[in-house]
Amino acid sequence: MKLIVGLGNPGSRYEGNRHNIGFMAVDEIHRRHSTFQPWRARFQGQVSEGRLGSEKVLLLKPSTYMNESGRSVGEAMRFYKIEPEDIVVLYDELDLPPAKFRMKKGGGHGGHNGLRSITAHIGADYRRLRLGIGHPGDKKLVSNYVLGDFAKADRDWLEPLLTEVADHADLLAEGKDSQFANKLTLILEPEKSQRKNKAPNGEGGAPKHQKAKGQSHIRQARQQAPANLPKSGPMAEMLKKLLGGRKD
């Protein structure tokens, strides 16, 4: 059994909050994979069992509020005897721009109260999918910002992000975090993916169509001059001056 946890606060009041992007992502996984059962109350949260790829998976949305998320996660983990490395937590990340994401295993809580609680209950060795929501620019504004709803304009990046997370969630369940990240980068950040995957030129030099670095126009003219030049007349005199007296 693998455990995929979305973090957020329960109730309609918080449903559209930036802090609830973890709930949104897990809801999208549930919607897009017909193998999952209806949500039901268990482990101090809402759970649904199903399959992703070759793995049996439990989706969990703690109902304990963000600051006590670890109580719900710990209870589910102990019941199914799940190891921390088989747990993936999806949550909002202030330090990432909107629409960006990062996979990480272990580490600190970074001031996130949901992670702080989970780490206190099960240790720090679980896997994390950080979903960027951006930062308001001032620490004093953070609370209102994360507990504020996404703007309508955010749908342009939020919906594609949640869709791709859900469509490739089988890779998360199978522990293929690098493949998961590569898939999402290829789709959501194609320019970045192209830069990373750009192959070096043959022998490591500049492409043939590019001018050699440091060569003047005169030097290039010398290299590319036709073999048969006029021997007399105005054109012959001009080429003689251009090519520095070269005789073919």
Catalytic residues: 19
With helix as H, strand as E and coil as C, how does the chain read?
A: CEEEEECCCCCHHHCCEHHHHHHHHHHHHHHHCCCCCCCEEECCEEEEEEEECCEEEEEEEECCCHHHHHHHHHHHHHHHCCCHHHEEEEEEECCCCCCCEEEEECCCCCCCHHHHHHHHHHCCCCEEEEEECCCCCCHHHHHHHHCCECCHHHHHHHHHHHHHHHHCHHHHHCCCHHHHHHHHHHHHCHHHHHHHHCCCCCCCCCCCCCCCCCCCHHHHHHHHCCCCCCCCCHHHHHHHHHCCCCCC
- Which candidate, 113, 13, 108, 10, places its Cα nearest to that of 67? 113
Q: Which position has the token pair 């007399």?
A: 232
Nearest-angstrom CA–CA distance, 144 and 146: 6
216 alpha carbon, distance to own chain's centre:
45
In this structure, the number of other CB atoms found within 10 A of the CB of residue 116 comes to: 16
